[in-house]
Amino acid sequence: MIVVQFEIGDKKQRMMEEVEDTKRMSPEMECRAARRARDRAKTAGWDLDIALFLFAVLITVIILSFQGIGIEIVASVAVCGLTLTWFLGWRKIRRLYQRFYDEEISAGEIVLMCAWCGKEMYITRSLGRSVISHGICSECKQKYFNFKAEGEILGTERVGQKDSK
């Protein structure tokens, strides 16, 4: 839930209503989050634990075959080991996918709001949930602090660039 940290008359109520409208996520945002989470989970899926377990299964199969145990038992041990390895990997990827999906969904959008005039400037995605951050816009900076506007927050100029006069 998003908490607005200041009150200016009726503005707090208006801002809370706007934030409540963004709780419903668009299908595009959900699809993008699912795709990125799936890619991240696939890359992190197999690790040293699963590799060591597969090595232990291989050693067990080799020892059983050298001891003269029947092929039926050796094959069943190998199949059980591979099935368990697949299951452990699938479970791990599913957990990683859910964690990465939740991270992608919660990243959302950042809304910059001028603390002096209340003007909002959107800086990232136009879809998803919003996080409200307070700062100062270039107009209020010039008006209240007698500075020349040093570049827009979203513009191509760098913030803090000196005037060329």
pLDDT of residue 110: 55
Among 107, 142, 157, give the residue marking a domain's end.
Answer: 107
pLDDT of residue 157: 42
Among 59, 76, 107, give the residue marking a domain's end.
Answer: 107
Tens of pLDDT, residue by residue over 59-105, are: 999 999 999 889 899 999 999 988 988 888 888 888 877 877 777 66
pLDDT of residue 108: 56
Residue 141 located in a structural domain:
yes
CATH classification at residue 148: 3.30.1490
Q: Are 140 and 114 in contact (CB under 8 A)?
A: yes
pLDDT of residue 122: 46
Residue 17 located in a structural domain:
no
Quick one: which H or E segment has residue 110?
strand 109-114
Q: What angle do CA 150, 153, 142 make, to 5 degrees?
A: 40
- What's the domain range around 146? 108-165
Residue 41 located in a structural domain:
yes
pLDDT tier for residue 132 given thresholds of 50, 70 and 90: low
Helix (H, G, I), strand (E, B) or coil at 27: helix
Count how many domains the chain has. 2
What is the distance between the alpha carbons of residues 37 and 31, in angstroms, rounded to a whole number?
Answer: 10
What are the tokens at 159? 């913030």
What is the distance between the alpha carbons of residues 101 and 35, in angstroms, rounded to a whole number?
Answer: 9
Paired strand residues for 133 = 112
Residue 1 located in a structural domain:
no
Mean pLDDT of the chain: 67
Q: Are residues 83 and 114 in the same domain?
A: no
- Kindly give, in sequence order, each residue whose CB lies less than 8 Å from that of residue 115, ignoring residues fewer than 6 positions away: 6, 134, 135, 136
Helix (H, G, I), strand (E, B) or coil at 159: coil
